[in-house]
Structure 1
Amino acid sequence: VKRSHDVPEDAAFFAISPWLDADALYVRTGDLNRAGFAVAVGMSVPIGERRNYWLGPFVRYLHILQQPERIGFDNHDAKVLLVGLSLEIGNGVRREPAAVVASNAEGRTVTKATYYCPDRDNDTVPDHVDHCPDVAGPMDNWGCPLYQKIVVKKDKIELKERIYFAWDQAVILDASFPVLDEVAQALKDNKGFRVQVEGHASSEGGDDHNQTLSEKRAEAVLDYLAAHGIKVERLKSRGFGSSVPADTNTTLAGRENNRRVEFVVYFIIVDEGSK
């Protein structure tokens, strides 16, 4: 005998289900027939809103009557007391959805706002993270085409190889034309970029000489880009002489790095507005 499991959901205490069980037993062992009985009491507590599972403690008493008496055997009644936990599994209780009570409140219209990230080159890379928002490129290259000799970053164009000049002159050697051609192509692809070309030198020679040489080399690169289709309004040049060394000037290798043609010219994106 037990209480029904279908108790209102908000009656948590009354969901506990006590139960009582009584059984009459017939026990046969070999040619011996015996009578017995079992009684149990316990309670079950629901687990989960659907009440598919019930768990609770119980106590069960089992008594087997030992008759008739037999010589040479223990003729006492068999008595067993069990204490344990019971687990019930069922279909649960189906809850009807709560009724919606109509009110006289004045209805209102809710407009759902839709937000999207601009992507003007339609390469699935949003403009706010796209380093090349005017030309399509893969996500793993920050939305830029896979150039061979340069890398377009958010604030500059890095060169993968050196720019070679004639010794102590602002004359670009032919070997550096391919990398500058690729810079020009990147600027054509990204028409919103305006760049500043920066030249650097080692500490050999006087400061005035190094300053003048770095300025003329930066101007030479600017002129090359202008001659290859980039509007002058998008270009600026500046020389730093030996004021911003990348390495020590006390060794031959360090001075070579400071005359770093690879790093002598930096292309820094000033803004992204002029075409």
Structure 2
Amino acid sequence: MDNRSEVREFLSTRRARITPDEAGLPAYGGNRRVPGLRREEVAMLSGMSVDYYTRLERGNLAGASDSVLDSLARALHLDDAETAHLFDLARAASASPVVRRPRAKPGAIRPSVLRVLAAITEAPATISNSRLDFVAANALGRALYPGVFAAAEPNGARFTFLDPAAKQFYPDWERLTQDLVAALRSEAGRNPYDKRLTDLVGELSTRSERFRTLWAAHNVRYHRTGVKRMHHPVVGDLELSYEALELPADPGLRLSIFTAEPGSATEDALKVLASWAATAGAPDSSATPTHPVADR
């Protein structure tokens, strides 16, 4: 991906969303020709010259110090995810175009990780990578996502944006699409040379107007915990809390576990789903990888 373009669009969209009042600046009369703050206002708030900030917003973050980036993050009211994204873009700008993050060696998911998945028997659990590929799941995890796992290479974003069944499966489809694009945008900043990510973004941009619109907003967000509502084709409505846990020994992979409130209708539905998965619903009774994870 074009780092200069990514930087330019990210900074300009962040600047456009902040009003002078929100930034603590006096609002003078007359019409402003640009939404949000002007470049000179961001420069003043960041403690840098207008020329230097203009250079940064034109896409040249190469050589920007941590203190400069911190000042810019404060001036633009960036949250933790946006600040991390800004630093990722700066690192990518300062690196040689031929320097890429080392790829993991080809191979299946480690057996010990699969044993962990298999040991989780009362809650759906999945393992996904930073491109939102589902690379492994326990039996209940597969049963929870029948539409996703119907694909040869299950991918959460591809299902959500391209499968017509997704809007019925996810009652909060619009909010979920925002979260997924924000997660992919964050990964693009961390690893701009990931060809498979670039290919996925290209495919979704070509085939989904919703994805194109959200991608152009340059929003980033952490997607580590929360609540997901689903309308499952077998057991009906579910409201599940999830926790996404990074696997330190496997960079780029995370384990997601879904649980229901004790005594809730969702807890009862999960028991029915487990029974269905053990019989006709899911052919695999143990945790299994969905496809190799040669380049996470």
Identify whether the pair has TM-score above 0.5, normalized to the shorter chain.
no
Q: Which has the higher contact order (CA 8 A, sep 6+)?
A: 2
Q: Which has the higher strand share?
A: 1
Q: Which has the higher helix share?
A: 2
Q: TM-score range by the shorter chain?
A: under 0.3
TM norm structure 1: 0.20
Greater radius of gyration (CA): 1
